[in-house]
Structure 1
């Protein structure tokens, strides 16, 4: 009853969608239908396969409405959805979003071989909303979106949504090492070399460091709970055990970051898409790291497909094959991103162990030891590192390591320059937004000398703020009832102050005015106006906005730009965007 297969049906399109709707509604018992309720409880799993049935937008809307209604009862577990080859468009994603957002047990979604492309702002909104629907899903093993003309904007939006998701935490496994070398685990919580390392209840959690902290106990508890839908009016609720209930795993896996296989073959990707994904790949866990923390995989066609991915040369979760517009440079940046992922994994290994499955936390706790003990430890670490073979990351020289990491950045820069030369900032949603903010902010904030803050945070960008205030651009200032006075005059300061009247109790209207800015409005108001006008959907991050405002008000940045006027236009544009940290989304 749980397998709903329509591959060989003679009907297609809307008629088939109506048939699927009726079959799904049969799994929604009404009050008093005890036999139907018992049947659903015996077989709660739903796997729907409508491959190649040309459902179209109208048909997919009918099917997704039925799936949404089914998921809301909490009686069934929707695990597999295959809508490959159904003439779906970007508008169809709106309906899919509603269905998958309430399907916490979803393991596989296949929307390949359709006509999903980003041709308008509405298409982009539907695509972003579809990707955001995965944020709270914890069981997905594969997202198959191949053979759709998605293009570079879709890949950039994928990176944008990925970057906004909170980091996942995976317990570190010490069982692979020597058992007698493992220290007894105690609760720790610290950040070192760009990684958050947390321990609770004998489990270590790893994630790239960010400002959002996570409580390991909360993570462990939430990962064991399934999301059960609410009961619709007139329906009977008797929730089956979710596939998550059996996974007593302290890992916190969710969203796009927690999907082992994201398949993007033949999607019209170019080198620009390869560059965006080169930021995702180092952050994305390998499938082998995620599989142990996902619900058990049943044998069948889906399991066979996943094994096929593993057998592909170079397949490590993010699949970008069959994209002929990706040149040798794009393939290089993807390969170097994979190498950086390996280097980061080795760094984590070194942070947590001493090469012998010992916790790295013991090194951190030795910060207060005497110099002799510290020297002995340094010597022991050096001896251990020297014993590693040449293929080990830890045995690489520092110069070789830096060269390897900078090689990826150089390849990204080459792609950025090529794209800017050929298409300008219009090629990227982020670059276009950053440049618009720079232009408008420059017109409003130039020469503003006061503080720049957003939510109490100051710009990380270090640049000297020089220039004359707007009120003294002619090199002089005028006091009330006094002639113009040069700032360089040697007249005593007390004489200058005679004609200056100070109001010890300024009116409220003066409190909210800033004479250095247009309209004498305070800088906070102007920043809000600029953001509402040019970045209403919040594409840029807080740090990027702070950097843009800070850079735009400085005449030093203007002078620096004038020094590079002889360079190519794309180089100048990239330099400006790079200065405000706007070349990429913040992970």
Structure 2
């Protein structure tokens, strides 16, 4: 392992970056038998508190990129496991350079420290650099910690963080109740886990009926493939699978056990966005089981300090002086919701800490009447209570943000309302049908009055003309052959001959049913099937496009294709085409503008980015 520590160097800025790049490029062997070819590829780079600045980081990133590009399948030159860039006056411009390096180090990087810099997202260019940096970590599978503390990120940075987080694939935790050795699995690892978890399911059934004591033998656990549960009641990793194999199943920001965002000037808007991430982020003990363990030393001590000193679990957001009472309440409720959603153990775990200590704080009732005390609730009722309180607290913050900063402060809100304006113009084509006449409007039909017609004046009858008929007399002629055409002299009637033929056929062999040849070759679908098929491909909307097609067209038109999910796009289009929503909006004209916008966004399900 090569640890490159530059904390004691006298160089700073651009010169220090050039020195770092030179040391990295030395690892590229000039030939296969050179000394550099036998170096350990693992690199831990520590450039903390050296005033590296953006210029120096650009040189450092260039050296890392060239070294990674020199890797080949037969010989690995570098594996960057730790990168410490703390207190180096880095701005968002440095994030663009790091975004080019991290895709190459996605399977190597385990610890990233960017704390104490000048990462403030306050312009469009900074937003693009921040988003590119976050998306460059989407393939990271062994990252244990990312430290962004001490940077005044701003509310927009947290919104982009939520957007990128929501678009990542969820982590596939294979739980015992979802496994079947014979059923379909998503990966070979899932099949192997299913075989090992069969022993866990059997032991769970035995414990449920009381035939097994709580104390188990570790040797027996290892023999049947059973794992011990952690203090949160969550199944830990299996010893027979390496962390690298488990890491292939989890990638991106969702797989990072520790995300440090303390002292980042969080306000109510930032807390609103982070509450969605916090409620869906898995607990550290589950995520640490899927990454390689930290080495003994400063890294392990740092991770242990988060568990001992900070009240946060995984997502460390305290201390943050900008958090008010409303923001702190939302984050606390999100932490409780995460405990119930991701690691439920019992009813006691579903009850917040203040209620377990005998506090008198009551949840706000969402239904008429007084709600029972949480200590008397079932597990499902406790979850619903916490979820209702969290939704209510979020709605208050959302209304405050819309009133203070407007709907344009959030990209999703801005795009959704623009898309709604275009959806109002989509109207189904209705055939012109004459308006029905009410029964009260039916008048008696009066026959038209016709004037009397005078009889015509008789005129003298014309004199009849005599017709002269001349006859031509032809002498009698007899043919040479009688009946030359062979015609019957006295033909029988057609009806009689048909009846006789039918009687003969009935007396002979029984008639066989006639089979239509056309029906054998082509079977025409029923009329109803044709109509159903036509409705599937034809719509009464303009150009006969379906709702989903128009939703995608309008989303592209307003720039919301990368912001809104397919369900949100359809929801906006349907809301816009529904004329009944105009009546609801008319009734809400007495409310504040922020409240009206909030209700519209809530009805369209566009208050937040939809997390997969």
Q: TM-score, normalised by structure 2?
A: 0.65
Larger radius of gyration: 2
- Paired with 2:255 and 2:541, the residues of 1 have a C-alpha distance of 49
Compute the displacement of 1:157 (Å). 0.9
How far residue 526 of structure 1 moved from its aligned partner, in angstroms, is 5.3
Give the 5 Å matches for 1:489-568: 517=542, 527-535=551-559, 538-568=562-592
In the alignment, structure 1 residue 18 sits paired with structure 2 residue 15: no
Number of residue pairs the alignment of both structures matches: 439
Q: How does 1:213-232 map to 2 (within 5 A)?
A: none
CA deviation map 1:150-204 (0-9, x unaligned)? 1111111111111111111234489xxxxxxxx99745569xxxxx999633249
Change (3 A) 1:401 1:296: closer
In the alignment, does 2:322 pair up with 1:325? yes
Describe how 1:391-430 pairs up with structure 2 within 5 A.
396=378, 398-430=380-412
Does the C-alpha gap of structure 1 residues 34 and 539 become closer, same or farther in structure 2, counting only changes over 3 Å?
A: same
Partner residue, 2:132? 129
CA displacement 1:289-328 (0-9 Å, x = unmatched) = 1222211211121221111111124120101123222211
Asked whether the equivalents of residues 187 and 202 of structure 1 are also in contact (C-alpha less than 8 Å), the reply is no
- Paired with 1:393 and 1:198, the residues of 2 have a C-alpha distance of 41
Q: Which residue pairs with 2:144 in the alignment?
A: 141
**Cα 1:13–1:348, aligned 2, differ >3 Å: closer, same or farther?**
same
Post-superposition CA distance 1:94-122 (Å, at most 9, x none): 11011111111101111111111222222
Q: Secondary structure of the equivalent of 1:564?
A: helix
For 2:464, the equivalent position in structure 1 comes to: none
Partner of 1:373: none
- Supply the distance in 1 between the matched residues of 2:304 and 2:586 (Cα, whole angstroms): 56
- Do the aligned partners of residues 528 and 339 (structure 1) sit closer, same or farther apart at CA in structure 2, a change above 3 Å counting? closer
Relative distance call for 1:527 and 1:247 in structure 2 (3 A) is closer
How many Å separate the matches in 1 of 2:11 and 2:179?
63
Q: Is 1:201 paired with 2:195?
A: yes
- Which residue pairs with 2:31 in the alignment? 31
Answering whether residue 91 of structure 2 is matched by residue 89 of structure 1, we say yes
Measured after TM superposition, the shift of residue 348 of structure 1 is 8.1
Cα separation, partners in 2 of 1:584 and 1:393, compared to 1, 3 Å: farther
Per the TM alignment, residue 271 of structure 1 is displaced from its structure 2 partner at its CA by 1.4
| Counterpart among 58, 61, 64 of residue 58 in structure 2 | 61
Q: How does 1:25-424 map to 2 (within 5 A)?
A: 25-38=25-38, 40=39, 43-72=40-69, 73=71, 74-103=76-105, 104-172=107-175, 186-187=181-182, 200-203=194-197, 247-249=244-246, 252-347=249-344, 396=378, 398-424=380-406
Report how far residue 568 of structure 1 moved: 1.9
Q: What are the ranges of 5 or more consecutive residues in structure 1 without an aligned counterpart?
A: 175-182, 191-195, 206-243, 351-390, 450-468, 478-484, 491-511
Taking structure 1 as reference, are residues 197 and 337 closer, same or farther at Cα in structure 2, changes over 3 Å only? farther
Aligned-partner Cα distance in 1 for 2:563–2:395: 21
Indicate conservation of the 8 Å contact 2:337/2:383, yes or no.
no
Distance 1:11 1:32, change over 3 A: same
Q: TM-score, normalised by structure 1?
A: 0.68
Tell me, in whole angstroms, the C-alpha distance in 1 between the residues paired with 2:131 and 2:334: 24
Q: For 2:541 and 2:142, how far apart are their aligned partners in 1?
A: 55
C-alpha deviation, 1:539, in angstroms? 0.8
Instruction: Say if 1:155 and 1:135 are closer, same or farther in 2 by CA, change over 3 A.
Output: same
Q: CA RMSD in A?
A: 3.4
Name the structure 2 match of 1:179. none
**Structure 2 CA distance for aligned equivalents of residues 544 and 94 of structure 1:** 31
Deviation per CA, 1:561-586: give whole Å up to 9, x if none: 11111122211111100111101111
Q: Secondary structure at the match of 2:43?
A: strand
CA change 1:400–1:89 in 2 (3 A) is: same
Residue 488 of structure 1 deviates from its aligned partner by 4.7
Separation in 2, partners of 1:396, 1:198? 36
In the alignment, structure 2 segments of 5+ residues that lack a partner are: 201-240, 348-372, 440-536
Query: Secondary structure at 1:78's aligned position in 2?
Result: strand
Deviation per residue, 1:335-381 (Å, 9 max, x gap): 1111111111355889xxxxxxxxxxxxxxxxxxxxxxxxxxxxxxx
